[in-house]
Structure 1
């Protein structure tokens, strides 16, 4: 069988979906990657995958440009003739479903990780787009041979309550998974009361990820005279209107409030060199990749009790620490607590690792995703009560 993965960046496909593609490849299937041009696209060839660049601007609202993008996608699908298209992110889900129907693709899977900018922002642009996006979602998500994958129950409820999709068409798969062998606690990790505490925020540099609150918390900790190092990994996202300007990030770094690392290629090594993963996000997350990577690495997690984030830290004080959104002082207090109580720091890290193994191991996530494919690829003549076919056959 041929599977086609479609996303709005090659970076997303490479970092979040390569493992699923490798599983399908090992089972004897062909996988084609499609995204706008980027620096990660050429890497797919090393793993035996074809990558097809598509001219697409994820921030564009130009009707002529968008019509052209949709036409290109339809032509591509007609040429490739995949058995199943799996589209990721909101815009790609809409376009992939529309193009898939026109091109008569037998099965379509749409994956939306979080509600995203259109549904979470109060900006005028987002408010104007929201009714149109809702209409398009209602038109595209209900195909007879399509399913929608969401990453947390809150989003599933929100989609159903808004009438965007029939609840029977939704499958919840928590996160895109983490390689718990690659991301694991450092062999020499020790609970040292005198070691300088190192706190990391690793994410796209969007305001809604709690970037300002993290920097403000770092300032408060410095004013208290605490020897805590705050690290910021990630780069501004030029395609998102709520991206933190590069000049602002450089200013924070120059002030010594945070150590800005930019894009980090070797995340396992970085996570083994820090103690805490903080994500004070008020973005409508799916399940944040940085949190499950941090949990798998045995870090203490600090995050908000909001959809997506609370999938990783559902129990405050056990799986990690919860903090109020948009509250830098509360975040500083949580970090100070871990600075003072290294036994708690160690205990939360151990529990985070256990949760990652139980709930977010990518082998479990990939199998659940493959099960969704099998559900759609079941022959139409097969009775409803029958077991799904093995997608590897």
Structure 2
């Protein structure tokens, strides 16, 4: 069924996320629905959406300080309320807990379906400090109200988050869907020739420069392996995220940049080329919704080394597509990387298995069709009401 007279509003808390992770979904939705609009804080990727013909609206929102965040949240709510009144969306699809809370508050009293995509539990729910436990106490009742409100549906990316959401927020299981990630273009992310061997190998990490992405453990592993593999390069691709509580401070980054076998590449525009320059891909994250970088690397036929946490272990079976090690354990990480550096046949075998799994389970075609099927389901349910 094609709902040509209906409208969909996409909202994320970064323009980068909308463009890089949901661009293909927005395209697919445009083929089935009448009108689309996209909202995010301002940035170059939002401008790209606009230049490519999408109705993109920059949202007044800042994360840099608590006072600025409070003021911008109030401004964002007013902005979203006006936009919802003007655009009259049939569906609002929000990504991340921050966006979910803002759209819930902004859409109170409005007649629209909200698809709440929980792309990860967020630092407030993964941090273990007293401050984070206190923050959880305050946020939990708000999130419960937002997710259980009228015409709200919840999408999670891994089974652990699904169980957590059902238990902590008392959700109706009939209104919760497990859709694995945002999907990747398996034609764009595809294996290329790897002619290197022996000492010329490259091990890479693609992530924001955050402690909870396991950057410190990656550095620890690089140090531990340098004596045995002095010519192996360890590459870290990604930007700092100064507004994030888990951001790595500049002094620490400067110290790490001085290591002889570690290179910080910064942001990379051509991610497939970066991945295909590697021989092993590593993500030692503390928790993910469903790791996009692991899926992209797997699509490129790379063996994967990751941690035994939600959103990572759901992509890699230990001993099949790569190795799975305990989180926050740099020594175990080094041992897993060593195993792959020493065995070319194993790298090739695990890389093939990683590619096969991504094509089978995590392609954007598979994920986007599941999302559009949910749109059709919720709209059909509304249409059937007396």
Which bin holds the TM-score, normalised by the shorter protein? over 0.9
Aligned to 1:98: 105
- Determine if the alignment matches structure 1 residue 370 to structure 2 residue 372: yes
User: Is 1:262 aligned to residue 266 of structure 2?
Assistant: yes
> How far does residue 381 in structure 1 lie from its aligned partner after superposition?
4.8
Aligned match for 2:88, one of 74, 81, 88:
81
Q: Hey, what's the Cα distance between the residues in 2 that align with 1:57 and 1:168?
A: 35
- Inter-CA distance 362–71: structure 2 relative to 1 (3 Å threshold): same
The C-alpha deviation readout for 1:289-326, integer Å capped at 9, x for no partner, is 1000000000000001111101111x211121111111
> 324, 342, 345: which one pairs with 1:343?
345
Residue 57 of structure 2: aligned partner: 52
In structure 1, the partner of 2:313 is 310
8 Å Cα contact 1:17/1:176 also seen in 2? yes
2:6 maps to 1:4:
no
The CA distance in 2 between the partners of 1:294 and 1:379, in whole Å, is 38
Which segments of 5 or more consecutive residues in structure 1 lack a partner in the other structure?
A: 385-393
Q: CA offsets per residue over residues 234-272 of structure 1, 9 Å max, x none? A: 011112011112342233122224110111000011111
1:255 aligns to what SS in structure 2?
A: coil
Distance, in Å, in 2 between the alignment partners of 1:121 and 1:260 is 26
The 8 Å contact of residues 138 and 163 in structure 1, kept in 2 or not, is answered as yes
Alignment partner for residue 295 of structure 2, among 281, 292, 295? 292
In angstroms, what is the RMSD of aligned CA positions? Answer: 1.8
Q: Size of the alignment, in residue pairs?
A: 379
Shift of 1:339: 1.1
Q: Distance in 2 between matches of 1:58 and 1:91?
A: 11
- Contact 1:215/1:257, CA 8 A, preserved across alignment: no
Give the superposition deviation at 1:105.
Answer: 3.7
Aligned partners of 1:89 and 1:112 also within 8 Å: yes
Name the SS of the counterpart of 1:17 in structure 2.
Answer: helix
- TM-score normalised according to structure 1 size: 0.92
TM-superposed deviation, 1:28: 5.0
* Shift, 1:163, TM fit: 2.9
Match in the other structure for 2:304: 301
- CA distance in structure 2 between the aligned counterparts of 1:45 and 1:112, rounded to whole angstroms: 25
**Aligned equivalents of 2:250, 2:170: Cα separation in 1:** 36
1:89–1:111 Cα contact (<8 Å) kept: yes
Counterpart of 2:361?
A: 359
Greater mean alpha carbon deviation, residues 338-347 or residues 27-36: 27-36
| TM value normalised by structure 2 | 0.94
Q: Does 1:228 pair with 2:232?
A: yes
Q: Structure 1 residues 252 and 381 mapped into 2: Cα distance closer, same or farther (>3 Å)?
A: closer
Change (3 A) 1:105 1:265: farther
What's 1:23 paired with?
A: 28
